[in-house]
Amino acid sequence: MKESGNSWSDSFKRSVPSMGGTPGDAPSSERSLRDALAKAEQILAESQELALIGSWEWDIATGRLAWTTQTFRNFGEDPHSFIPSFENYTERLHPDDREMMMRTVQGAILSGKPFDYYHRLIRRDGSVRTLHARGRAIYDRDGKPVRMVGTGQDVTERLTLEAERTTLAAAEEASRRIGFLGQATLGLYESMDYESRLVQLAKFVVPTLGDWCAVDILEEDGRFNRLAVVHSDPQKINLAKELEERYPEDPELPTSRWNVLASGKPVLFREITDEMIDAGARDPVHAALIRALGLTSFIIVPLIAREAKLGTLTIVMAESGRHYDESDVELAMDLARRAAIAIDNARLHTQLMRKSAELEEQAARLEQVVRELEDANEILSQQATEMELAQEALHESSSELAMQADELQRANRELAQSQGVAEKANHAKMEFLAVMSHELRTPLNAINGYTELMEMEIGGLVSVTQREYLARIKKSGQFLLGLINDVLNFAKIDAGSVDIKREPVRLDAILETSHLLIEPQMKARNIAYRHVMMDGTCMAVGDSEKIQQVILNLFTNALKFTDPGGAIALSCESSDGFARIKVADTGRGIPAAKLESVFDPFVQLDRSANVGSQHGVGLGLAISRELARAMGGELTAESEVGKGSVFTLALELSPAP
């Protein structure tokens, strides 16, 4: 086939070395060579024409560019009138592809690697063709590029056909997806129970859209309720449930269902790799469970309707080995929107039915109320008649009530006068007790004093018998003096004439003094005594003398009701802003019904049960409680018959100085 002066054949001839032989063989060998060459050129030209592939050679040093006939055809040029050059080639390229061509050619020359790219060219008639260009650079022995060779195939029709096939495939896929969505939508409205709708939806998704499907609804408490999970293998479903129970999802993860629903945006994992599993697993068992499910790709999309965030839809690829892309996300989002609308409609229907039932119930109640009102109206009419009669009777009795009111007022005045008389009598009684106590103390002090002088034998010798009598006199006098002091103290407290301080005091010193005073009496009575020391920094608000008096009164009370061989304990603890001093004994105990009355004045619950013959007048606990309350505290008791009692003095804590 004839070509231009810069044709491929010229280049090919130059590259064939001269062949050896005898002079007589030269014409025959040269003719055979020309015939073979012509045959090869014809076959090459026909092959290039059929494949629309043209070849070229570019001498980098001279700039000479040689094209085959098919290259001219690809560019729409006449090989007899068009002279190929790098400039003409560049001029025919689409303007948007020229820079890319230059980078590709320069990169191939510098790297020594072949190039392969697509570019567009514009023919003289304005038509645009697309060529698939391939080539490489050829270097001399010094590694210098001397020329480039390559091919250019016109792929315009092929690319157009591929685009049409792609468009057709996309249309078929769109039709398939529209049909899928239509069937899914019909399934969503087969029942008004949205939970059963979602279960049917999950079954419909598998295996068309995935190997797994799960539907989760957000409850009011912020937890997800998994309404449906579908897979062809029940054992895999059990494995998924085990994974969820042993390793609950972390709501803080960006890909969690909570964040998907909060953002309203889907999550796509195109491919689940072993590295991703190892990075996300909490331990090796967690990773093994995930791998056992065989997950390859998954999508999570939100279920949102009318801005109400209802839940999530999760679809997963596993055994099929398929992977999701953006088009699958769009389909899943469309399906989720339809499902969310169906859920919202079902909930609205349920609410409507509930409201309808409530309205019917209210209507029935209103009818009942109307009937009751009619009955009540009839009753009111009867009552109105009765009231008229009653008013007449009331008018008749009003004068009688007025008389009774006068009598009541007179009785109230008499009661007020009686109360005043009683208060004066009580005050007089207290004054009498105070005076009597004071008058009795004077001779008693004299008796006790002279008794001590006689014991000291100042007036003469005293026999053993006389000494015993003196001891009894002294003991009785001291006891009687204590009773008088109790009466006097109670009278002073009742009259409000006792000066009580409220200042910070150290409780450890007071308790230690009480311990020293009471311990000898415990030993004398053969009663075990336990004293729990307390922190010296504990301070309470009160009067140290009165606190000491209350503690000694509690000890005296415990000694009275604890038999020899028993035990008494003194302790102190602090909590809730109060210091609590406790005196516990193992005595007879106090019945629950009488526990509070022990603090009343002049009360002795069981005088026959007291040890010894001296009982007191029942003022010790009454005085102690009044003193505790005057200091801003309280005195309480706990007891169990047969086991003993615990009396607790509670005082406000004061910061340490």
Q: Where along the chain do its domains lie? A: 8-154, 189-324, 499-654
- Determine the average pLDDT of the residues in 116-133: 93
Is the model's pLDDT at 134 over the cut of 80?
yes
- How far is residue 635's CA from residue 649's CA, in Å, rounded to a whole number? 5
For helices 507-524 and 544-560, give the axis angle rounded to 10 degrees: 30
- Determine the average pLDDT of the residues in 366-391: 85
Q: Say how far residue 601 (Cα) sits from the centre of its chain.
A: 59
Which pLDDT belongs to residue 127?
92
For the ranges 183-187, 311-315, 394-398, the lowest mean pLDDT is seen at 183-187
Look at the alpha carbons of 110, 111, 113, 119 in this order and tell me if their dihedral is positive or negative: negative
Query: pLDDT per residue over 584-622, tens digit each?
Result: 999 988 898 888 888 887 766 654 544 443 455 567 788
Look at the alpha carbons of 651, 653, 656, 657 in this order and tell me if their dihedral is positive or negative: negative
The superfamily CATH assigns to domain 499-654 is Histidine kinase-like ATPase, C-terminal domain (3.30.565.10)
Is the model's pLDDT at 118 over the cut of 90?
yes
The superfamily CATH assigns to domain 8-154 is PAS domain (3.30.450.20)
What average pLDDT does the chain have?
81
- How far is residue 361's CA from residue 518's CA, in Å, rounded to a whole number? 78
Which pLDDT belongs to residue 154?
92
Query: pLDDT per residue over 260-296, tens digit each?
Result: 999 999 999 999 999 999 988 999 999 999 999 999 9
Is the model's pLDDT at 572 over the cut of 80?
yes
Which pLDDT belongs to residue 440?
67
- Determine the average pLDDT of the residues in 147-167: 88
Which pLDDT belongs to residue 22?
45
Which pLDDT belongs to residue 113?
92
CA-wise closest residue to 334 among 299, 369, 292: 299
Query: pLDDT per residue over 405-429, tens digit each?
Result: 788 888 778 877 877 776 676 566 6
- How far is residue 235's CA from residue 623's CA, in Å, rounded to a whole number? 80
For the ranges 210-214, 490-494, 597-601, the lowest mean pLDDT is seen at 490-494
Q: With beta carbons less than 8 A apart as the criterion, state whether 146 and 59 touch.
A: yes
Domains 189-324 and 499-654 fall in the same CATH topology: no
For the ranges 54-68, 508-522, 566-580, 635-649, the lowest mean pLDDT is seen at 508-522
Is the model's pLDDT at 26 over the cut of 70?
no
Give the pLDDT band (50/70/90) at residue 485. low
Give the pLDDT band (50/70/90) at residue 527. very high
DSSP class of residue 7 equals B
- How far is residue 266's CA from residue 333's CA, in Å, rounded to a whole number? 8
- Determine the average pLDDT of the residues in 312-328: 91
- How far is residue 104's CA from residue 507's CA, in Å, rounded to a whole number? 98
Is the model's pLDDT at 120 over the cut of 90?
yes
For the ranges 71-85, 192-206, 372-386, the lowest mean pLDDT is seen at 192-206
- Determine the average pLDDT of the residues in 623-639: 90
Q: How wide is the angle at C-alpha 287 spanned by C-alphas 285 and 291, nearest 5°?
A: 115
Choice between 619 and 522, residue whose per-residue pLDDT is larger:
522
Q: How wide is the angle at C-alpha 286 spanned by C-alphas 284 and 288, nearest 5°?
A: 70
pTM over 0.85: no
Q: Domain 189-324 classified CATH 3.30.450.40?
A: yes
- Determine the average pLDDT of the residues in 171-187: 67
Give the pLDDT band (50/70/90) at residue 624. confident
Query: pLDDT per residue over 434-478, tens digit each?
Result: 666 666 667 767 776 767 777 777 777 878 787 777 777 866 666
Query: Based on the number of CB atoms within 10 Å of its own CB, is 441 exposed (0-12), middle (13-18) or buried (19 or more)?
Result: middle
- Determine the average pLDDT of the residues in 553-573: 90
Query: Based on the number of CB atoms within 10 Å of its own CB, is 482 exposed (0-12), middle (13-18) or buried (19 or more)?
Result: middle
Which pLDDT belongs to residue 2?
37
Is the model's pLDDT at 365 over the cut of 80?
yes
